[in-house]
Structure 1
């Protein structure tokens, strides 16, 4: 792979794609090669969706330090892409009358939330004994990240679960909130999150390499990852189902569910709009503002929180997206309502994240996604 000056330069050399036309797989492959050279990333997979159907799936270079190939069937960590699928599931349940998006989760539970104590599989509910605001939190608030919880309880100065602002009043990304909704559905409504996702989505779509709990048959073709320093790290075999982000999947598998979501499979039209309709304006300068003072807030008029995804308005109209990230993982899914077009990128090297804006632009054209909000350190996108 030859050294190339910049991803943007390669996209220009190839020819920037028209906004309503997806470039060919070879064109995408050349821009991906430039991205991997520029960032140093060792593994990356990319899929495109046209008119709600998967149109291409490609995987590049390595799944581990031994140099074994990354393929469309390689199991990757889905990270917070899990939240998008869980949000879609929740909207399906609402469409079926199984729950109300705007009725407090407390009404699902037979006991007061703090009485369940601190449960490692879900959350430290006992920490909320002296704060009655837990009674206000609804499924919508968990999915649009307005519960008032930090992303993780341990980020608080006392490492306890705290409600940092009035539930529903503003955005503050929180995996803890997603886990509260999972707890309400499982302990209150008697649902099994993994079983529901398998029954409704994964099995019908032929997603044999996707689960929110580690499966032994994944081991034959699984991706390890690389961190910011380029150090290889092993794949984490997650044993707990966590709707906030425990999903393992392949690029081939997740492209199928992304296509189903953008075409509204399994949802009446009204409820499909509800999934992608932004109901909470995002007024923060970055994605994780919960512990920042209010002075850090800033208007973001074209982005708002929807059901597990972020809705935006851009040059091509309405769209929605969701990212996923940990020390060795970088994922993004961007979908445009016009033409039901999406690009899905999953990388087992966190350094690839710096190339996401250029890669998405090459595939979809200008979208309007607020990359500096999601990645505050990003430059020159």
Structure 2
């Protein structure tokens, strides 16, 4: 009887996988997203899909090894590395960052002396998202001014993460790429991840696409920026998400900072909405009270690629997906319902309100 049941389950799995793949391909086509990697983990079982093309109009398929831009999902990697340094006694979350080293772009901004790592990780620094194009030639010398008083309200800031990245480089004497390898990629065996372009990525890298589904470029970042330059795969990033959910590599007290609200997401200059009550922010990661329970989450958006993860620490279930299209986040709710199950997840509703 057990043998018959096992054979039946294997047959069912063989029938479901192609149907699911076809359904995902249709969903991508509907939203003009050329390609996607997706990994769902539940109960110790991991299901992975690679769907579509690396570049629209060309035959080369997305595979499990295709390199995607992770965009702002790199911020969570910086947060995890910072917490590792806290455990090593090298960083104090509440010590003003300017006491560790200078940041010339903030010269002439007296309120910046209050900014701490905890504020950066919770997006309460008061800094803008980006004061200038961070890929442009003048970004490093552009003047940076606060939009809001530090620790007064929630305002998403890539500039804050750039400031913290520079601080970690001051503290350790290492570049961010080296630090990421030491503190994250190496320990978690993320062998296909880097914050700078690697020549080995060229054979299997995804091209970005705009909202119409037209190709843009393969971004070959030459300088590491924790805010947006992470290049990786869903398989590698799933390892990272599992580490977040379990607190791997962190002391128990520090690991709790990833699952405990540091502040409510009371958005600066934004009228409260019903969804706000569902969202809070921990040290570097979003918290959401879904209809299926509390979860950690974050999104990534480099304009021509969009990505997402959500994980339930209580069960270890997670969904990670990477897309090479500007409409990728439109897939989020449908993918969550297909893989995690029916329910309300609130993250996209909240993002659409900002």
**TM superposition score normalised by structure 1:** 0.80
The separation in 2 between residues aligned to 1:57 and 1:240, in whole angstroms, is 31
Hey, what does 1:32 align to over in structure 2?
A: 24
> Which stretch of the first structure deviates more once superposed, 98-107 or 67-76?
98-107
- Provide Cα deviations, 1:199-223, integer angstroms capped at 9, x if missing partner: 2332343322210011111101111
Hey, what does 1:359 align to over in structure 2?
A: 335
Aligned-residue Cα RMSD (Å) equals 2.1
- Provide Cα deviations, 1:220-249, integer angstroms capped at 9, x if missing partner: 111112110221111110011111121000
The separation in 1 between residues aligned to 2:344 and 2:238, in whole angstroms, is 19
Moved over 4 A (4+): 24-28
The separation in 2 between residues aligned to 1:361 and 1:279, in whole angstroms, is 28
Quickly say closer, same or farther: Cα 1:28–1:374, change in 2 above 3 A.
farther
Hey, what does 2:297 align to over in structure 1?
A: 321
**Once the 2 structures are TM-superposed, how far is the Cα of residue 43 of structure 1 from its aligned partner?**
0.5
Q: Given the alignment of the two structures, is residue 343 of structure 1 paired with residue 332 of structure 2, yes or no?
A: no
The separation in 1 between residues aligned to 2:113 and 2:19, in whole angstroms, is 52
SS in 2 for 1:345: strand
**Once the 2 structures are TM-superposed, how far is the Cα of residue 171 of structure 1 from its aligned partner?**
0.5
1:153 to 110, 131, 138: 131
> Which stretch of the first structure deviates more once superposed, 255-264 or 340-349?
255-264
**How do 1:42-53 and structure 2 match up within 5 A?**
42-51=34-43
Quickly say closer, same or farther: Cα 1:31–1:268, change in 2 above 3 A.
farther
SS in 2 for 1:56: strand
2:189 to 206, 210, 213: 206
SS in 2 for 1:311: strand
The separation in 1 between residues aligned to 2:117 and 2:175, in whole angstroms, is 16
Hey, what does 2:115 align to over in structure 1?
A: 137
1:368 to 340, 345, 354: 345
Hey, what does 1:10 align to over in structure 2?
A: none
2:180 to 197, 207, 213: 197
> Which stretch of the first structure deviates more once superposed, 355-364 or 73-82?
355-364
Quickly say closer, same or farther: Cα 1:25–1:147, change in 2 above 3 A.
farther
CA contact (8 A) 2:228 2:302 kept: no
SS in 1 for 2:308: strand
SS in 2 for 1:340: coil
2:48 to 40, 57, 74: 57
**Once the 2 structures are TM-superposed, how far is the Cα of residue 26 of structure 1 from its aligned partner?**
5.0
**Once the 2 structures are TM-superposed, how far is the Cα of residue 261 of structure 1 from its aligned partner?**
2.0
The separation in 2 between residues aligned to 1:343 and 1:226, in whole angstroms, is 23
CA contact (8 A) 1:262 1:337 kept: yes
CA contact (8 A) 1:79 1:246 kept: yes
The separation in 2 between residues aligned to 1:297 and 1:313, in whole angstroms, is 17
The separation in 2 between residues aligned to 1:226 and 1:47, in whole angstroms, is 21
The separation in 2 between residues aligned to 1:256 and 1:27, in whole angstroms, is 26
CA contact (8 A) 1:95 1:271 kept: yes
**TM superposition score normalised by structure 2:** 0.86
Quickly say closer, same or farther: Cα 1:195–1:295, change in 2 above 3 A.
closer
Unaligned stretches of 5+ residues in structure 1: 1-23, 118-124
**How do 1:11-22 and structure 2 match up within 5 A?**
none
The separation in 1 between residues aligned to 2:305 and 2:297, in whole angstroms, is 17
Question: More strand per residue: 1 or 2?
Answer: 1
The separation in 2 between residues aligned to 1:376 and 1:207, in whole angstroms, is 34
CA contact (8 A) 1:283 1:298 kept: no
Q: Given the alignment of the two structures, is residue 226 of structure 1 paired with residue 217 of structure 2, yes or no?
A: no
Aligned length: 328
2:223 to 240, 262, 284: 240
Hey, what does 2:139 align to over in structure 1?
A: none
